[in-house]
Structure 1
Amino acid sequence: MKDIATASTTTYILEKYKLQAMKKYGQNFLIDSNIVEKIVASGNVDKETCVIEIGPGIGALTQILARNAGQVISYEIDQRFQPVYEEFFIDQNIEIRFQDFLEEDIEKVVSELKQQYKRVCVVANLPYYITTKIIEKILTSSSNVDCMVVMIQKEVAEKFTSKYKSPLTIMMEDIGTCTYEFTVSKNVFIPSPRVDSAVMKIEVEKAIDLELYQVLQTSFVQRRKTIYNNLKTNYTNAEVILENSGIEKTKRSEELSLEDFKRITKNCI
């Protein structure tokens, strides 16, 4: 079977089924099979791995994932692609779920998959407009996902993997590692987006501490405010908490380390 991730096959599919990329879903179709192979390799996908994919589009990544994984479960909200899946994916180890991933009970899904597979990984070309929501949903759940390999906007990937601090980046530092894998040119998509993309990998080594994440979210409500002014919006004893944590109340949240926030969390309980 021909690879979907080529300009000729993608054009054939779009013309045959009279499909166009929809901006509201952030759709751009990948036409470089080498990039797809590199994404799959980044996730160390094998037959003992079940992959959860979000937003498969016409299935360029889905197709290569299925060749390597034990099973692929793809979430797609655009039902226009159903005839494409019936042509390319019938009788394969792929399950397409036409529903919004953000509404899925991911903990239940992963728990069931872990009974059959050694690893469960999320591998996806994420729509730019919901990148953070999807990453946050997965990492703040108790789903026990082993890793995430996601293609996202290059600028966002650079933020996630730099010294930039936010509740999500600090939490990711606590639960595992986040690495910038490689850049993906905007020229390998139909239609071409306005900016380049990048593939980022998150290795999850332990479950999230939800109390820590709550403190982080409170601490970054307004970046320009001091840690004290942010904390006091949720904690009436913010001054005592900071004093017991050995942190100056005039510090800004972005000046604090993960260990600082862990001490704050301990003194908030």
Structure 2
Amino acid sequence: MNAENLGNTASTQHNDITGADRIRTDVAHNARVWNYWLGGKDNYPVDRAVAEQVVEMFPGIGEVARADRAFLGRAVAHLVEDKGIRQLLDIGTGLPTGANTHEVAQRIAPDARIVYVDNDPIVLTHASALLTSSPEGTTTYIDADARDTERILRAAAETLDFERPVAVMLLGILNFIPDTAEARSIVRTLMDAVPSGSYLVLTHPTLDADVGGADNQPAMDFWNANATPPITGRTRAELLSFMEDLELLPPGIESCARWRSPEAPPVPQVPQLGAVARKP
């Protein structure tokens, strides 16, 4: 879609939504386990079994999931309401829960345009639940792997105007890219495609001890032996390398539970870091 065609007409688009035949119920999968920790019902016995085992090893994992979700809401609201962002590219969508990206954004700015990206087959089967929009805005869905940045950008350009600022959202997705150089390249490619005034929004599990990350490793090891995709924790310094040439918004790289939290301190920390950075 060209810039001149980006009117405020209602639109809900489906891009290559398939995948029911790819759903595996014999191995736990991240989107379904995360859904279970958030109190959802879109999961299978194998997901619940692994989820409960992780809870035994790392009792705070439910708090991590909820804190990550709350961070999403605060970050989107801040960018849409305070920074004037009207376009969001959410990569690694996950299963629908309350306060999805488009719901938060369009509650503030009904004309906001949101593109979701995921390649999880069960997410694809629930895409219709995500693909709702305010009459003035647009919500679309792309079936693509986060590594396939060229496909993502090409498909997203049918909905988003890359001459105008875009919020690129990578919440809990880079941890499934084990090679840090590859993860950094993904971020760089995406941010190179958007103009000045765009934003990068990310969350990532960490092993940093000051936010309780030391307890993460045994649970991650169990996950990698029993579920898919494998997960990798990273430090603040590694996350900072994803944001080279970007301007970190206050309070910088912070436990996502504390990032711009409206609660009075001290807010309990979780070993999930969050950050928002602006492209100058």
Per the normalisation by structure 1, the TM-score is 0.51
- 1:198 Cα deviation from its structure 2 partner: 1.0
C-alpha deviation, 1:77, in angstroms: 1.2
Change over 3 Å in CA distance of 1:159–1:136 after alignment to 2: same
Cα deviations by residue, 1:140-159 (Å, 9 ceiling, x for unpaired): 46302511010112343521
Q: How does 1:33-48 map to 2 (within 5 A)?
A: 34-44=70-80, 48=85
Q: Deviations over 1:137-195 (max 9, x none)?
A: 23246302511010112343521477xxxxx46xx44x23235253136xxxxxxxxx7
CA–CA separation in structure 1 for the residues paired with 2:176 and 2:78: 23
- Asked if residue 99 in structure 1 is aligned to residue 173 in structure 2, the reply is no
50-59 or 195-204: bigger deviation: 195-204
1:31 is matched with which residue?
A: 66
Aligned match of 2:39: 11
- Structure-2 change in CA distance of 1:47 and 1:60 (3 Å): farther
**Do residues 137 (structure 1) and 195 (structure 2) align?**
no
For 1:184, the aligned partner's letter is C
Paired with 1:140 and 1:89, the residues of 2 have a C-alpha distance of 26
Gap change, CA 1:112 and 1:48, over 3 Å in 2: farther
2:25 aligned residue: none
Q: Secondary structure at the match of 1:20?
A: helix
Tell me, which stretches of 5 or more residues in structure 2 are unaligned?
Answer: 1-33, 52-61, 107-111, 209-233, 258-269
Q: Note if 1:79 corresponds to 2:121.
A: yes
Q: Partner of 1:35: helix, strand, or coil?
A: helix
Cα distance in 2, alignment partners of residues 178 and 58 from structure 1: 28
Distance 2:35 2:72 in 1: 13
Aligned in 2, Cα 1:81/1:68: closer, same or farther, shift over 3 Å? Answer: same
Give the secondary-structure state (helix, strand or coil) at the position aligned to 1:14: coil
Alignment correspondent of 1:176: 246
* Cα distance between partner residues in 2 of 1:19 and 1:95: 30
Which residue of the partner structure matches residue 201 of structure 1?
Answer: 276
Residue type of the partner of 2:171? Answer: N
CA contact (8 A) 1:152 1:197 kept: yes
**Is the contact between residue 35 and residue 41 of structure 2 (CA under 8 Å) also seen in structure 1?**
no
**Stretches of structure 1 lacking an aligned partner (at least 5 in a row):** 1-5, 163-167, 186-194, 206-269
Q: Distance in 2 between matches of 1:44 and 1:198?
A: 21
Does the 8 Å contact 1:40/1:64 carry over to 2? yes
Q: Is the 8 A contact 1:55 1:124 kept in 2?
A: yes
Deviations 1:120-147 (A, max 9, x none): 1112313313274344223246302511
Aligned CA-pair RMSD: 4.1
Q: Given the alignment, which residue of 170, 191, 203 partners 1:151?
A: 203
CA distance in 1, matches of 2:139, 2:105: 12
Aligned residues: 178
Q: Alignment partner for residue 161 of structure 2, among 115, 137, 142?
A: 115
